[in-house]
Amino acid sequence: MKPPRIRQATEGFKYLSNSELAKFLSVLPDPDRATGPEKVPGLRDLLMIDMMALHALRTIEVHRANVEDLSDKGENFALIVRGKTRDRVVYLRPDTGARMKEYVTLRGETARDKSGTPLFSTTRGERHRLTRTRIRAITVRYLRLAGLKRPGISNHALRHTAATLGYLHTGDLRAVQELLGHADPRMTARYAHVVDMAKKNPVLFIPVKVG
């Protein structure tokens, strides 16, 4: 008896390309077009997308994030990420760190819940921690606005985007593994395989001209 045929490629996950990510980020609110408390909703959405698409957080990790998890480490601003199996420290980009400080300051006091002080909360009335469903809905709204919503492109594809582009631009698989919080490097290796497979595609080196 023949074994079942595997139709899906091992590296069949979805992610945004460099140009698609730039297009996606371009439709997010520009916080500098608002002033004072009016900036808070735009800053919140910008930072949530940033956490997933650039810093590789999962939806549940964005949901769990607390103000108490932020720390100023001199030149670096960091976030303790409450992962599925273990916690990790993610160092924020300088521009993200500056926006994060601005957001927390402008939003002001937010009531604690049983898990801590929500980093990402509703912005009207009594503030509550955003649910995972709400975080997904916000992501989908901006993906549609950018014309990028298609099957497989949603919140988790943003984490794949951070991992794939992170390896593409650094070539440092160990650093990407730390960013993702993978205990097994084989989990991270698939991102390297996708990038290296495209760069080292044998057809690119066949010395003929087509057309």
Residue-wise pLDDT for 102-111, tens only, equals 999 999 889 9
Judge whether 10 lies within some domain.
no
User: What digits encode the pLDDT tens for the residues 188-209?
Assistant: 999 998 898 888 888 888 888 8
pLDDT(77) > 60: yes
The CA angle 112-116-117, to the nearest 5 degrees, is 55
Is it the case that residue 83 has pLDDT exceeding 90? Answer: no
Q: Is residue 2 one of the residues assigned to a domain? A: no
Residue 35 lies in a domain: yes
Instruction: Name the percent of the chain lying above pLDDT 90.
Output: 69
Residue 11 lies in a domain: no
Is the model's pLDDT at 119 over the cut of 90?
yes
CB atoms near residue 73 (< 10 Å):
11
pLDDT bucket at 101, cuts 50 / 70 / 90 = very high
Q: What pLDDT sits at residue 13? A: 85
The confidence score (pLDDT) of residue 201 equals 84
In-domain check, residue 176: yes
The model's pTM: 0.89
Structural domain harbouring 54: 18-202
Looking at residue 51, its pLDDT comes to 97
Residue 76 lies in a domain: yes
Look at residue 171 and tell me if it is in a domain.
yes
Confidence label for 1 from pLDDT (cuts 50, 70 and 90): low
Instruction: Please report, for the domain that includes residue 70, its CATH number.
Output: 1.10.443.10
pLDDT band at residue 25, thresholds of 50, 70 and 90? Answer: very high
Give the total number of structural domains in the chain: 1
Judge whether 39 lies within some domain.
yes
